[in-house]
């Protein structure tokens, strides 16, 4: 049976077989291993034999090169020294490396793994408070302020992501994915063209900078009276407005929540100049990017969810094209 055909528990068990060998390269042994997320990547909470709690991420779905992962880790290492934003603190191997290269035979692929100090707390999740959204907006601005002075050491680099599909593989063109019906496929291509046009136009006169590019509330941890930002896996050279657009997508049950997010951002940085129409198009474009990503995912949970997600996508796009506004609940 192929890896993609396994249930989630069996997939995690196969990924977990990599953990002892990865930890050995850090001079560590695990007393306890707990999978805390298995979707785009697979993440584990590690309790070492000395009682330290660590976070291990194995990059199963990321197509980033080792040098792009290195840039992510250098960003986090520099960020931990300034401490303006609470974020994962990377650990180095016994050879002083910031990442591990490893082979994952069930997917016939080479991948990377990274290790961090564990951040205690709880995921903010689907019901953020107004205060948490304000704090997220402030932390977004702080990350962008810090990013302007960020320095990478060769061969580390971040790819450009100022487009709808960012730096991911285009799984929508030129051929129609088998899971997507003709009507939905037409709407997806229409939305993709609209979103790409806005990104191209905005990019003509705006400077790109390193952005997190995945600031949803699943990547925000409430800890000790403040929030921590995790999962910089999608980071790249993008437009400042992209961070706001991506965060807005995940709270679009209504538009009221966004006011707190934007207020937090505006308390430290001027909001990016963009028309309401273009902003809505880019929020819709985030959905298109997710469709491209999930249709070829290997996680059992995501594979099972794809039909539901595509049905919701059809309704969301229909509402957007009818009203010009993007909403999650339609």
Query: What value does the mean pLDDT of the chain take?
Result: 95
Q: Is the domain of 60 the same as that of 171?
A: no
Helix H or strand E segment including 315: helix 300-323
Give the integer Cα–Cα distance in Å for 235 and 231. 9
Q: Which two tokens stand for residue 287?
A: 């959905």
Q: Is the domain of 98 the same as that of 215?
A: no
Q: Is the domain of 138 the same as that of 193?
A: yes
Q: Which two tokens stand for residue 224?
A: 């000790």
Q: Which of 120, 150, 165 is the last residue of a domain?
A: 120
Q: Is the domain of 63 the same as that of 169?
A: no
Q: Is the domain of 106 the same as that of 195?
A: no
Boundaries of domain holding 165:
130-323
pLDDT tens column, 291-315: 999 887 888 888 899 999 999 999 9
SS3 state at 194: helix
Q: Determine how β-strand 42-48 pairs with β-strand 53-58.
A: antiparallel
Whether 329 maps to a domain, the answer reads no
For 12, counting Cβ atoms within 10 Å of its Cβ (0-12 exposed, 13-18 middle, 19+ buried), the class is: middle
Give the integer Cα–Cα distance in Å for 299 and 283. 25
CATH number at residue 176: 3.90.1200.10
Kindly indicate the confidence band of residue 61, based on its pLDDT and cuts at 50, 70 and 90.
confident
CATH number at residue 46: 3.30.200.20
Q: Is the domain of 211 the same as that of 264?
A: yes
Kindly indicate the confidence band of residue 254, based on its pLDDT and cuts at 50, 70 and 90.
confident
Tell me, what's the pLDDT at 87?
97
Tell me, what's the pLDDT at 287?
98
Whether 125 maps to a domain, the answer reads no
pLDDT tens column, 131-182: 999 999 999 999 999 999 999 999 999 999 999 999 888 999 989 999 999 9
Whether 159 maps to a domain, the answer reads yes
Whether 328 maps to a domain, the answer reads no
- The total domain count for the chain is 2
Q: Which of 70, 102, 120 is the last residue of a domain?
A: 120
> Percent of the chain, pLDDT > 70?
100
Tell me, what's the pLDDT at 255?
85
Give the integer Cα–Cα distance in Å for 214 and 245. 10
Tell me, what's the pLDDT at 40?
82
Q: Is the domain of 116 the same as that of 136?
A: no
Q: Which of 69, 102, 120 is the last residue of a domain?
A: 120
Tell me, what's the pLDDT at 299?
87
What pTM was estimated for this model as a whole? 0.94
Beta bridge partners of 34: 45
pLDDT tens column, 182-208: 999 999 999 999 999 999 999 999 999
Q: Is the domain of 84 the same as that of 146?
A: no
Q: State the average pLDDT over residues 304-328.
A: 96
Q: Is the domain of 77 the same as that of 144?
A: no
What phi, psi does 159 have (nearest 5°)?
Answer: -75, 160
Tell me, what's the pLDDT at 1?
84
């Amino acid at each position: 049976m192929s890896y993609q055909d396994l249930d989630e528990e069996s997939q995690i068990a196969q990924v977990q077989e990599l953990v002892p060998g990865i930890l050995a390269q850090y001079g560590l042994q695990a007393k306890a291993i707990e999978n805390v997320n298995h979707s785009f990547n697979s993440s584990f909470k590690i309790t070492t034999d000395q009682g330290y709690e660590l976070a291990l991420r194995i990059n199963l779905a990321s197509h980033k090169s080792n040098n792009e992962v290195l840039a992510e880790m250098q960003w986090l290492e520099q960020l931990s020294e300034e401490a303006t934003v609470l974020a994962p603190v990377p650990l180095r191997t016994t050879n002083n490396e910031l990442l591990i290269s490893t082979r994952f035979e069930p997917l016939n692929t080479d991948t990377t793994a990274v290790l961090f100090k564990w951040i205690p707390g709880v995921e903010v999740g689907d019901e953020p408070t107004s205060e948490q959204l304000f704090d997220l907006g402030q932390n977004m601005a702080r990350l962008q302020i810090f990013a302007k002075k960020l320095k990478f050491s060769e061969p580390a680099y971040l790819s450009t992501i100022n487009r709808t599909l960012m730096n991911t593989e285009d799984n929508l063109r030129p051929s129609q994915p088998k899971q997507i019906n003709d009507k939905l496929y037409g709407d997806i291509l229409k939305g993709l063209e609209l979103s790409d046009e806005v990104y191209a136009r905005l990019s003509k006169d705006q400077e790109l900078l390193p952005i997190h590019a995945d600031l949803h509330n699943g990547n925000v941890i409430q800890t000790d009276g403040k929030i921590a930002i995790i999962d910089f896996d999608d980071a790249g050279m993008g437009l400042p407005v992209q961070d706001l657009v991506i965060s807005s997508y995940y709270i679009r049950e209504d538009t009221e929540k966004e006011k707190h997010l934007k207020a937090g951002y505006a308390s430290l940085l001027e909001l990016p100049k963009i028309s309401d129409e273009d902003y809505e198009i880019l929020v819709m474009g985030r959905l298109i990017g997710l469709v491209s990503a999930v249709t070829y995912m290997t996680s059992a949970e995501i594979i099972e969810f794809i039909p539901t997600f595509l049905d919701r996508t059809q309704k969301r796009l229909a509402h957007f094209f009818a009203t010009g506004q993007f909403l999650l609940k339609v």
